[in-house]
A and B are shown apart, each in its own frame.
Chain A
Amino acid sequence: MWVGQALARRARWRWAEIVFWLAAFAALFLPAGRHLILNEIAILALFALSLDLILGYAGIISLGHAAFLGLGAYAAGLLAKHVTDDPTVGLALATVAAASLGFATSFLVLRGSDLTRLMVTLGVAMLLGELANALPDLTGGADGLQGVTMGPLLGLFEFDLYGRVAYAYSLTTLFVLMLVARAVVYSPFGLSLMAIRRNRLRASALGVPVHKRLIAVYTLAAAFAGAAGALLAQTTAFVSLDFFEFHRSADVLLVLIIGGAGWLYGGILGAVLYEALQDALAAVTPEYWQFWIGLFLVAFVMLGRERLTGGMRGLLARFGR
């Protein structure tokens, strides 16, 4: 009873959360013009949320999370090109495909130390990228997968040029998957994951089936990332080898660190900050923005990580009361 109460309290919806989601959905009714970037943010946030499940809750550092993003994107793109242009079917298929890959590679990831784990995740992403490059008949190779056209969402809403439907689609997916993530993280299963992250040996001594839990959460995270890949492919109507690139994996890691790992909203906060920063820098110095963003990130990780996200979390918690 006591554990149940504690879990229920943790799982309670906070005011800040409700306000955030209302605002995010209200942004749908903004005048046209910002929805493309909002869509991008929502997808990046979903991708970072998926990484948060394994990094923030299970303590697995991945350098190759783009493997699942890319696989989901290619699955959705190929389905749209050759079978059906229904976006939701593509989303479902991409999720299942990425989850299968996650399940298969989770056994590799479980082996060895943290360091070999970094390498395994990186290796899987690189391997998939090279495979996609080596099979141009299927994937279009270095030219990318072209000619992806999507049908109307749910048979009702055509994707428009301004990205309003795309944003609605991505945001709804993000919201639904956030509900799933909340349910998972605030369950006894989620507690056992956190126990594993803090002290693996002790968790297994307490009878937590460590391997099974890690396999399950890795598969779930892969599914989320696959969904993000599908959204990206469907709303931009393009898939390229770039989806598997190391840059994607590293960027999402940075996004999550900026927003803070281990509290579910870190991915969203990080995605908003990261995209806003990029947007602002690109507007001020279109040539040198990469340079400045690099500098900012170095400074941020070294100095401000704890302080900034800690402060933000404290603020949210206070508003939540």
Chain B
Amino acid sequence: MPSATLLGQALISGVLAGGMYGLLAMGLSLSWGLLRLVNLSHFALAFLSAYIVYELGTKYGVAPWWSAAMVVPVMFGVGAAQYWLFDRFHVNELASLLITFSFAVIVEAGIQIYWTADYRRFETHYSTLSFKVGPFFVPVLELVLCVVASVLAWGTWMWLRKTYVGKGLRAAAEDADIAAAYGVDHRKLAYLLSGIGAAYAGIAGTFIALIATLAPAQIWAWLGVVFAVVIIGRLGNPLGALLAGMLIGASESLAMAVLSPAWAPVVSFSVLIVILLWDPEWL
């Protein structure tokens, strides 16, 4: 059994790493839960953003936050454009799955053509910054990511609960026809939401560029875990997605410390299946 310090450290890194799962899950959860569109290309958009941030940073020396300021609005546009396609061709859930999968394949191929299949790493001094709390190290970048994810999750949650726009969206997800009868313009809201979801992918992508090593095939690496996070966190609930992300992150990290790295993903899927079997009320 590893020492208490190691376990504590594993827990901290796990929760912080879970922030990334949460951030990726949020956009997916919104479009799945409120628009009934399963957007597999979410990961592709995140990685495309990451590559753009990498490109701007390494070739032109643009600071990551400036790149993010450019990439995020572009992604918002991409998300809205995607919704236009779905709306125009009356795409249902199953078809949205297939189309966005194909869309992800296109983006993956595009990345491969432009950046090749080689591993890319955006070296910055941020990635090594950390500070010490008692015996534990806290990486600054992951902490910032977690703070950003929390602010976004909480903000989106409040937006959906308190504002008329948010309430309209939830009403339309519940029953589009009745909501329309009460004057909710579902379409306009859906464009907005689809754009926001993709914008979150852009934000996640910026952090991916700073934290992870990039390769085209990595697009698919997080799919399973993030899907699990979306379901555990309840569809359409950004706060739930964040908490579930942290839960999965922490359990993976603990499994890594106690068992071995190879067992970490096994644990996260087991957590998912146990929760689905248990079938709690909040699911």
Point out residues on A near B: beta carbons under 8 Å. Answer: 61, 63, 108, 111-112, 114-116, 118-120, 122-124, 126-127, 130-131, 133-134, 136, 141, 245-247, 250, 253-254, 257, 287-288, 290-291, 293-295, 297-298, 301-303, 305
Contacts and interface: CB of A to CB of B under 8 A. Distances in A.
A180 to B, nearest CB: 26
Interface in B81-101: 85, 89, 91, 93-95, 97-99, 101
B95 A305 contact: yes
B272 A123 contact: yes
21 contacts: A108-B273, A111-B279, A115-B32, A119-B230, A123-B224, A123-B272, A127-B269, A127-B270, A250-B40, A253-B97, A254-B101, A287-B113, A288-B113, A290-B105, A290-B109, A294-B105, A294-B109, A295-B106, A297-B101, A298-B102, A302-B89
Given A111-B279, A112-B279, A298 B224 contact: no
Nearest to B93: A114
Given A111-B279, A112-B276, A297-B102, A290 B231 contact: no
Residue from A116, A134, A245 having most chain B Cβ neighbours under 10 A = A134
B223 A116 contact: no
B266 interface: yes
Identify whether the interface residues of B are mostly helix, strand, loop, or mixed.
Answer: helix
Given A290-B105, A298-B103, A134 B263 contact: yes
Given A108-B273, A126-B265, A301-B95, A119 B106 contact: no
Contacts of A115: 32, 231, 235
A246 B269 CA distance: 14
B258 to A, nearest CB: 14
Contacts of B142: none
B252 to A, nearest CB: 11
B93 A302 contact: no
Contacts, number: 115
B262 interface: yes
Contacts of B97: 61, 63, 118, 253
Contacts of A114: 93
B227 interface: yes
A287 B220 CA distance: 20
B110 interface: yes
B38 interface: yes
Closest 8 CB pairs of A and B: A294-B106, A294-B105, A291-B109, A297-B102, A126-B224, A127-B269, A290-B109, A134-B262
Given A124-B273, A127-B270, A119 B102 contact: no
A250 B101 contact: yes
Interface string B249-271: 00000000000101101100110
B68 interface: no
Contacts of B265: 126, 130, 133
A55 to B, nearest CB: 9
Given A134-B266, A301-B98, A301-B99, 16 more contacts: A108-B273, A114-B93, A116-B231, A118-B97, A119-B227, A127-B266, A127-B270, A130-B265, A133-B262, A254-B101, A291-B105, A294-B108, A295-B102, A298-B99, A298-B106, A302-B91
A254 B228 contact: no
A294 B40 CA distance: 13
Interface in B104-149: 104-106, 108-110, 112-113
Nearest to B273: A123
A175 B177 CA distance: 47
B277 interface: yes
B175 to A, nearest CB: 16
Contact of A297 (B85, B98, B277): B98
A119 B224 CA distance: 9
B105 A297 contact: yes
A246 B91 contact: no
A318 to B, nearest CB: 27
A147 to B, nearest CB: 22
A292 to B, nearest CB: 8
Interface string B212-227: 0000000010011001
